[in-house]
Amino acid sequence: MSRTRTVALPKDLYRLALVQSFKKLDPRIMIKNPVMFVVEAGFVITLLLTFVPSLFGGGSDRIYNAVVTLILFVTILFANFAEALAEGRGKAQADSLKKTKQDTRARRVAKDGSVQMVNSTELRKGDVVLVEAGELIPGDGEVVEGVASVDESAVTGESAPVIKEAGGDFSAVTGGTRVVSDRIRVRITADPGESFLDRMISLVEGAKRQKTPNEIALSTLLVSLTLIFLIVCSTLLPIAGYVNAAIPIATLIALLVCLIPTTIGGLLSAIGIAGMDRVTRFNVIAMSGKAVEASGDINTIILDKTGTITYGNRMAAEFVTVGKARQDELNQAAAQSSIYDETPEGRSVIELAKKQGVAVTDLKAPGAEGIEFRAETRMSGTNLADGTVIRKGAVDAIKAFVSEEGGSIPADLDEKARRIAAAGGTPLAVAKGKDILGLIYLKDTVKPGLRERFEELRRMGIRTVMCTGDNPLTAETIAKEAGVDDFVAEAKPEDKIALIRKEQAEGKLVAMTGDGTNDAPALAQADVGLAMNSGTVAAKEAANMVDLDSDPTKIIEVVAIGKQLLMTRGALTTFSIANDVAKYFAIIPAMFMLAIPQMSALNIMNLATPQSAILSALIFNAVIIPLLIPLAMKGVKYTPMSASKLLGRNLAIYGLGGILVPFVGIKLIDLILSGIGLV
C-alpha cells in the first residue's frame, strides 16, 4: 500500500486560521465569493440599523438588529475560517519544504574540466556539478555519470535511500536531497526559482490554485440562485405593504441569507483546497486542481507493464543458445552487447556474464562504439573496431536486422522465445554480425495484490489497459496474471498516444502513468498524467501530477481521491440546498403571521414567536458551516459502486438528511432561545 504524508493540525494553525478569517473580511477579498459577499453586505446594513434603526425606513428595535448583525458576522467568520484552515494546512507543508530549500556550495565543472566552487544560486541550466557522499545536490538535474544512493526524505518523507544512475529512467535528482554513497556527476536542468521544490512550495501554498471547470460551473449556479433570491426578497417589501404587513429590513436580510446557498458558498473554496491537500498528503503533487478533478471522472487507465504491473527489475537470469551457437560464444557476445549499456538490465547482463566466466574487463576494446537503445529500432549494442556488429534487442527487431544483413534465422529461435515469454519472462535476442547466437532471458514479477485492485477499478466502471514493448505472448501472460482488461504489446511511444487519442475520441477521459522520456508525449496527451519522481525531467514536465514515492500503481488512489472530491462537493451542495426547505417553513410564516393569521398553518415546527423563528433559522444557518468543516476537509468516504447506486445513496443521506437536520436543529435552537427568555 502507498504511504500518505500526514500533516498535523497544531494549535498554531487554528490560531493563524482565525487571524486570517478576520483579514478575509476585506471586501476586495470577499467579492471573490459572491454568496458570502452578499452576506457581508447584509451585515453592514444591519450594523448601520443597529445604531440608526430608522435608516432605510426600518422600524425594528436596536437589540433585534444587533442580534441579527452578530449572527451574520459569525456566519461570515465561520466561512472564512473554513477556507483559511484549508489554506493553512497547505502553508504548513510549504514551510516544512522551505526548510529543505537552502543555499549550498556546489562544485561546478568548467568546459576545460576544472572544478569551481560556487553558490547553488549561481547555477544555470546546462551546468554540470560533481556531488559526493554526504553532500546536498545543489539543484534539479539529471545524473550523467555514475551511480549513487540518494536520500530523498526531505522531499518525499521516505527514509530509505533510492538509487540514481546515468542512462536510465531513474536519472532525475531533486535539489535539496543528499547523496548517501558514491559519487555522481549531475547536469542542472532548472534555473533558480524554477526548481521542482519551488513549484511544490507554490502549489501547496495554494498560490497557483485555479478553480476547476466543475467548481466554476457550481459557482455560477450559486451566483444565479443568489440573484434570484435577491430579486424575490426585494419584491416582498411592496407585497407586504399591500397586505398591511410591516417587515423589518433586518428580517428581510435574514430571509435572504437563509435562502441563498450560504453553506456550500462558505465551504466551496475549502473543499477545493482540501482536495488538493489530500492529494499532496498522499505524496502526489498535482500541477492543477483540474487534474485532481479530472481523475474523478476517469474511464480508462493506461499502465506500463515494467515497474507498474511488474516490479520492473528485469534481470538477466539465463543465456539460451539457439541453432548451432556455442554457450561461451553467446556469453561473450551478450556481454559485448551490454558493455556500454548503463541501464539496470544492461548491468545485470554483465553480472551474469561474469558468473559465466567472461572476462568483462577486456571487453572495452579501443575503437569500439556503444549503440544506445532507441524506441524506433528496439535494439542496442556495440560496434567493434574491426567492423563486427553486435546487437541485442526484441526478437522480431533482431530478426529483421539479421535478415537485412543477409543472415539466416535459427529454426528454434521462435520456439525458445515463446517458451521464455510463456513463463512471464522477456526474451532478448543476441546477434553477432549475420548470426543470431541466442537469447537473454530477463525475469520480471507481477506485483502481489494487483488483481484485487484492478477488480476494484472495474467496480468503479474504469477499464485498465496494459501497454508494453514486450512481444504479444509475454504481454498476454502478464495481462492474465495481473487481471487487466486489455493489453497492447510491442507498443512504441506513438502507439500509446494513438491509444489515448482513440479513447478520448470516444468521449472518455484517460489516465496514464510513466517515468521515461519516451512516455512524455503520452503523459502530455492524457487527461491525467502521473509521472514518477524517480523518472526523467521530460516525463515530470509533461505530466500534470508527480508521485514523490514513484509508485505507478498510486494512480488507483489518485482516481479514488478525485472521485471523493467530486462526491464531497456534490454531497455538500445537495445538503446545502435541501437545508433551505426547512428554513422556508421557519421564516416565511413568521414574517406574515401577524398580518395573515392563516399563515400560522405553515408553522409546522410550532416555533415560539416570529422573532424566535427568524433568529433560530439564522443561527442554524451560521452554526452548520463549522459543523461541516471536518467533512469538507476530510471528504466524503468513497466506496466503489455504480453511478446510479451512488446517486441514490447520496440523495438518501445528504438530500433527505439535509431536509430533516434543519427541522431538528431549528426547533432545538428555538427551545433554547425561548427557554432563556431571549425572544
The annotation status of 547 as a binding-site residue, yes or no, is no
- Whole-angstrom distance, CA of residue 211 vs CA of residue 563: 17
Strand order in the sheet with 379-383: 315-321, 435-443, 426-432, 389-394, 379-383, 369-374
Residue that the C-alpha cell 547482463 belongs to: 349
- Tell me if 345 is assigned to a ligand binding site: yes
The long-range contacts involving 27-32, CB below 8 angstroms and separated by at least 24 positions, are 30/76
Catalytic residue at 549? Answer: no
565 with 197: CB under 8 angstroms?
A: no
373 is in an annotated binding site: yes
- Alpha-carbon distance of 635 to 267, in angstroms, equals 12
Is 11 annotated as ligand-binding?
no
User: How far is it between the farthest Cα atoms of the chain?
Assistant: 110
Give the separation between CA 277 and CA 264, rounded to whole angstroms: 19
C-alpha cell at 665: 436543529
Annotated binding residue at 443? no
Q: Please, which residues have CB within 8 angstroms of residue 432's CB and are 6 or more apart in sequence?
A: 329, 333, 388, 389, 390
Cα(588)–Cα(648) distance, integer angstroms: 30
Give the per-residue SS3 of 45-112.
HHHHHHHCCCHHHCCCCHHHHHHHHHHHHHHHHHHHHHHHHHHHHHHHHHHHHHHHCCCCEEEEECCC
Location of C-alpha cell 549499456: 341
Q: Does the annotation list 362 as a binding residue?
A: no
> Binding site annotation covers 375?
yes
The whole-angstrom separation of Cα 52 and Cα 47 is: 9
C-alpha dihedral sign at 456, 558, 343, 396? positive
Distance separating alpha carbons of residues 262 and 573, to the nearest angstrom: 10
Q: Pull the grid cell for residue 676.
A: 432563556
**Per the annotation, does 374 bind a ligand?**
yes
379 is in an annotated binding site: yes
Catalytic position from the list 127, 151, 198, 304: 304
Which residues carry out catalysis? Answer: 304
**Residues contributing to the annotated binding site:** 341, 345, 373-380, 392, 515, 519
**Residues contributing to the annotated binding site for ATP:** 341, 345, 373-380, 392
**Residues contributing to the annotated binding site for Mg(2+):** 515, 519
